[in-house]
Amino acid sequence: MRIKIYTFLVAITLSVLITLAVLLIRSNSSLSMPAEALKASEEFKFDGNLKARISQAKTLVPYLKNGMSKTEVLALLGKPDRVFQEEYYSSVIYDVFWSQTIDVYFDEEGKVFHFEGPGIEFLSHYDRNWAFIRLGMTKEEVLSRFYEEQKKLQGGKIWQYYNPKDPHLYNIHFDENDKVIHLEKTELALNSVQP
């Protein structure tokens, strides 16, 4: 009788341990990073040494990806210093050093659509802000990001943006109610001239 109870308890214990191991592996699968990055992640989340955070941030920013969930971002960077909610998106901000931050932006479904931080450079103001232009925005909302109407086509139904340092042409199409209905980012040929 004792052997049966002992065998039963061992079987339950093994079952629980295997289940916990599987859950642990699944929870860490989104953070499959080298040991150096895992160490930087833990230090970034818990250390608080702002000088050290610059190096940690530069190590961690390459692991941010569009499409990540908020849970994955929190697993990588920890609790944010600030959280914001806007009409079309939400964002979290992590202080790195003085005015340097890691900013992560989430769409309506809670997925990353844009991020900025140490080591990330943009080709132009338009390149940096393109991800924030959303279908359904008004012309005024577009201007809050792009600041000007650079070139109007088709009676103002298409706004076109270009910067010589950026090899892209940005077109924003509006409907009859002056709301964004189509976004078009086109890579220009190397020898093309300004449109």
Q: Is 51 found in the same domain as 95? A: yes
Does 75 lie in the same domain as 37?
yes
Here the contacts of 177-181 (C-beta below 8 Å, separation 24 or greater) are 178/138, 178/139, 179/136, 179/137, 179/138, 180/133, 180/134, 180/135, 180/136, 180/137, 180/138, 180/142, 181/135
Q: Is the pLDDT of residue 11 over 60?
A: no
Residue 71 within any structural domain of the chain: yes
Q: In terms of domains, do 91 and 58 share one?
A: yes
Read off the pLDDT of residues 171-194 as tens digits, 9 standing for 90 and up.
999 999 999 999 999 998 755 555
Alpha helix (H) ranges present in 61-124?
Answer: 70-77
**What are 117-166's pLDDT values in tens digits?**
998 999 999 999 999 999 999 999 999 988 887 899 999 999 999 999 99
| Chain Cα centroid distance, residue 194 | 31
Q: pLDDT tens for residues 49-108?
A: 777 888 999 999 999 999 999 999 999 999 999 999 988 899 999 999 888 999 999 999
Domain holding 129, by residue range, is 125-187
- 17 and 39 in a common domain: no
- Quick: pLDDT tens for 82-95: 999 988 899 999 99
